[in-house]
Amino acid sequence: MPSTRALSIIGFVTLLLVAAFDIPFLGGLVLVLDGLLCMAILVDWSRAAHVPLEVTRRWPPLPVQGARMDVELTLRALANRDVQVALRETLHPSLAERPLRERLTLPSGQMVRFTYTLEPRRRGRPLVGPLVARVRGPWGLAWSQRDVIAEESICIYPQVRWEGQVGRLLALADRRELGRAPIRTMGLGREPYGLREYRPGDPPARIHWKATARHARPISREDSWERGTRLVVLLDCARAMASVDARRSKLDHALAASLALARVAASRGDQITIIAFSDRVERIVRLHQSSTAVAQAYRQLFDLEPRPTEPAFDLAADVVARFAPRRSTVVLLSSVVDLAAAELLSQAALGLARRHRTVLVNLEDPHLADLALREPRDVADAFAKAASLEILLANRRLARRLRRGGLQVATTPAHRLAWETLDAYLGLTRRGAA
């Protein structure tokens, strides 16, 4: 590729070619200069192409959405002269608004470190295009371009650092010091422990009828005490969760709240199942009681993306019935902005409440609230205000209906979502232990 210097020389030769119409002997000179220039550019390009270039890229150990991170490039040119290099880092739009361009001078045989800062705007697995390097020839007439680092994908994780009430609660959970929400011991366990002779006063429900028939005398079932509860988290990943506010979508906030809830529940010894759904089941993560349970959920759920479909709440309820046949605590995180979806949600949630302790955490849409409170400037604004007020009123009616059906409902803005979710969950467990 010709450099700026080569193009300037070509322009000068072109002027001589124009002058050759009036001065005939300049025509031969122009042809000679053209040939020499082409040969010089080719030789310069060849020498640049044969310069060995060593480049490595080092990402931070844990890239997090919305957090600034430093990426380090290490370069070394194995040549007997200083080498000028132009770099072009092809970055995904979720990492940067535009590609990064930088020009460096690499001293002969020495290692040069270059650091640039990124602030990932979205979580997931974005592709980072090849790092392209252009090496300038020693005469400055040509550039040789090559890919020095191949295309790769990196993992951008959700923001799960918390301060305030949520941060203090998670710190207690990590140290197993949840004094405000101790591990509850249920009155009568349901896990079979053994069999024994029937004693007067044993409830009929604890008689093991098969053993009684086999031994021809009453036999009772001895059950173990249950510690913790069974928790099912339903995470809506449909179109309503794609709305973005301050660079984070509703699904980003809901996912962070789900992971915070998993940390607290795991510290209490709960059996946790997280079900992400849209019009289909996206992910099912079952966490076993271990020190790496929450890290497992973090790795398996960090790249969830909302889908432009309607949420299938009935499908989610069927999945809960399959994975949690016994009484459990079900926490549903969603955002109701559509009246038809509200009706489907109501039917599914009331069905869940007949068997499980159910909590609906409804994430408010900030755009709806703004439209409802803003004074309309024209007819279109007036219609938008009326529609938003109707949706907010329908949400209130939905909450009243669900509370009458035995559900706990929390409607909250994004910045309080994690706390409201944890408070509702711990409130249910406290009432269950009382």
**pLDDT grade, residue 427 (50/70/90)?**
confident
Average pLDDT, the chain: 82
| Domain positions in the chain | 1-157, 164-184+227-433, 191-224
Three-state SS letters, 166-185? HHHHHHHHHCCCCCCCCCCE
Q: Are 141 and 48 in contact, with CB atoms under 8 Å apart? A: no
Residue 331 has pLDDT above 90, yes or no: yes
Mean pLDDT along residues 240-258: 86
Better pLDDT: 387 or 350: 350
pTM comes to 0.75
- Where is average pLDDT lowest: 74-88, 171-185, 286-300, 364-378? 171-185
Structure tokens at 97: 């608004």
Residue 277 has pLDDT above 90, yes or no: yes
CATH level 3 topology of 1-157: Immunoglobulin-like (2.60.40)
> Of 3.40.50.410, 3.40.50.620, 3.40.50.2000, 1.20.1560.10, which CATH number belongs to 164-184+227-433?
3.40.50.410
Scanning 268-378, the segments in alpha helix (DSSP H) are 293-301, 313-323, 339-353, 366-373
**pLDDT grade, residue 99 (50/70/90)?**
confident
**pLDDT grade, residue 428 (50/70/90)?**
confident
In which residue are the tokens 């529940």 written?
265
**pLDDT grade, residue 284 (50/70/90)?**
very high
**25 Cβ contact list (under 8 Å, min separation 6):** none
Instruction: Supply the pLDDT for residue 234.
Output: 94
Structure tokens at 93: 């739009």
Which amino acid, one-letter code, is at 355? R
Alpha-carbon distance of 239 to 308, in angstroms, equals 4
Q: How far apart are the first and last CA of the chain?
A: 78
Which amino acid, one-letter code, is at 326? R
Instruction: Supply the pLDDT for residue 184.
Output: 43
Residue 55 has pLDDT above 60, yes or no: yes
- Work out the number of other CB atoms within 10 angstroms of the CB of residue 413: 14
Residue (of 100, 87, 99) closest to 56 by Cα position: 87
Residue 67 has pLDDT above 90, yes or no: no
- pLDDT per residue as tens digits for the range 409-426: 888 888 888 888 888 888
- DSSP state, residue 207: B
Report the percent of the chain where pLDDT is more than 90. Answer: 16
Q: How far is CA 181 from the centre of its chain?
A: 29
Residue 172 has pLDDT above 90, yes or no: no
Which amino acid, one-letter code, is at 403? R
Structure tokens at 240: 């309503």
Question: How long is the chain?
Answer: 434
Residue 160 has pLDDT above 90, yes or no: no
Phi, psi of 233 (to 5 degrees): -105, 120
Residue (of 348, 308, 310, 309) closest to 330 by Cα position: 348
Alpha-carbon distance of 73 to 56, in angstroms, equals 6
